[in-house]
């Protein structure tokens, strides 16, 4: 269902652009758009802060900020290196985006810490692994093709519900 919803959302956005309705945004006051996007940004930061600090699952951002015993030095190190490299990279090169270099630096930092801590090489029970990507033993190609076959098995009522929801 999420795959179909993603496809439908993309198609609706393309339809909005072709109909010329994308110009309607200029009639929405700037403070409204800015406030909305700022709120979304704060929600994203609040949801990612516990992961950045390496806190256990289920701990809220305020609790993470106020109780340092939830912090994991490994998660903080990886996060700080990633952010610093991401911010400094544009001063040296414009050819490669800072985000890409930051992610590479974060992966290399993780690998460096994992070379001294073998528990980080395990997926299960590792607090720094956010979650599995859901692939089975066959791999991701099999997972993707199974999703496409499942789309064909959707009932008309399910598709109608998916189409109607974003159009409201």
Q: What pLDDT, on the 0 to 100 scale, is given for residue 134? A: 59
What is d(CA 52, CA 49) in angstroms, rounded to the nearest whole number? 5
Q: What is the pLDDT of residues 102-152, one digit of tens each?
A: 999 999 999 999 899 888 887 777 777 766 655 555 666 776 677 666 767
- Annotate 28-59 with DSSP letters as a single string: S-HHHHHHHHHHHHHHHHHHHHHHHHTPPTT-
What are the domain boundaries of the chain? Answer: 72-130
The most confident of 3-12, 20-29, 102-111, 125-134, by mean pLDDT: 102-111
The distance in angstroms from the start CA to the end CA of the chain is 18
Secondary structure element (H or E) that encloses residue 98, with its range: helix 98-116
Q: What pLDDT, on the 0 to 100 scale, is given for residue 138? A: 64
16 HSE (CA, 13 A, CB side):
13
44 pLDDT above the threshold of 60:
yes
Residue 18 tokens read as 């072709």
Residue 52 tokens read as 């950045």
% of the chain at pLDDT higher than 90: 26
Q: What pLDDT, on the 0 to 100 scale, is given for residue 49? A: 87
Burial class (CB in 10 A: 0-12, 13-18, 19+), 79: buried
167 pLDDT above the threshold of 80:
no
What is d(CA 14, CA 166) in angstroms, rounded to the nearest whole number? 14
């Amino acid at each position: 269902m999420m795959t179909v919803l993603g496809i439908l959302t993309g198609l609706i956005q393309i339809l909005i652009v072709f109909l010329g309705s994308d110009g309607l945004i200029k009639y929405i006051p700037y403070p409204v758009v800015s406030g909305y996007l700022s709120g979304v940004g704060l929600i994203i930061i609040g949801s990612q802060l516990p992961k950045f600090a390496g806190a256990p699952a289920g701990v809220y951002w305020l609790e993470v900020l106020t109780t340092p015993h939830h912090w994991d030095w490994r998660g903080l190190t990886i996060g700080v290196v990633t952010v610093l490299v991401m911010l400094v990279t544009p001063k040296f090169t414009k050819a490669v985006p800072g985000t890409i270099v930051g992610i590479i630096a974060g992966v290399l930092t993780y690998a460096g810490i994992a070379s001294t801590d073998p528990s980080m090489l395990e997926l299960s029970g590792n607090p720094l692994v956010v979650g599995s990507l859901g692939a089975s033993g066959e791999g991701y190609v099999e997972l993707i093709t199974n999703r496409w076959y499942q789309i064909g098995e959707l009932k008309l009522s399910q598709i109608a519900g998916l189409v109607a929801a974003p159009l409201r």
